[in-house]
Amino acid sequence: MHTEDVNGKVLEHWDCNDLQEAMKDGEVVLIDVRTPQEYMFEYIRGALLLPMAAFDASFLPEGGQKRLVFHCGSGVRSRRVAEKYLEAGHDRIAHLEGGFAAWKTAHKPYIGTDMASGAPVAVHNQ
């Protein structure tokens, strides 16, 4: 993970290993900001869907024991959402650098779609 100062606030750029470890330890809430169609096709198990088009920082929890981490397909939308979150008055937020594409390239597990049946299927790329 590395951090970036965004107008005096902290934007954390997490890599796939950071996220996988934090998820395993129950330390984060992962928020997928892709479209519902993208999410239906494939997603990281445990990620909650909050599409960028409907993003409103006032609906997200503040504080608590778990960190919020945004992700999208490539890291572009999650960064934009993270910046909006910081603009809404929060001091620190994280996003998955490289997004879902980086997750898949790193051979991390996710839920995909069986093209023959349309059913969800666990994909274990490790």
- pLDDT by residue (tens digit) across 25-61? 999 999 999 999 999 999 999 999 999 999 999 888 7
Closest CA to 44 of 75, 71, 82: 71
Q: What is the mean predicted confidence (pLDDT) over 52-80?
A: 90
Q: What is the mean predicted confidence (pLDDT) over 51-73?
A: 89
For residue range 88-122, list pLDDT tens digits in order. Answer: 999 999 999 999 999 999 999 999 999 999 999 99
Can you give the pLDDT at residue 65?
85
The burial class, CB within 10 Å (0-12 / 13-18 / 19+), for 111 is: middle
Residue extents of the structural domains in the chain = 2-123
Fold that domain 2-123 belongs to in CATH: Oxidized Rhodanese; domain 1 (3.40.250)
Q: How confident is the model at residue 87 (pLDDT cuts 50, 70, 90)?
A: very high
Confirm whether pTM is higher than 0.75. Answer: yes
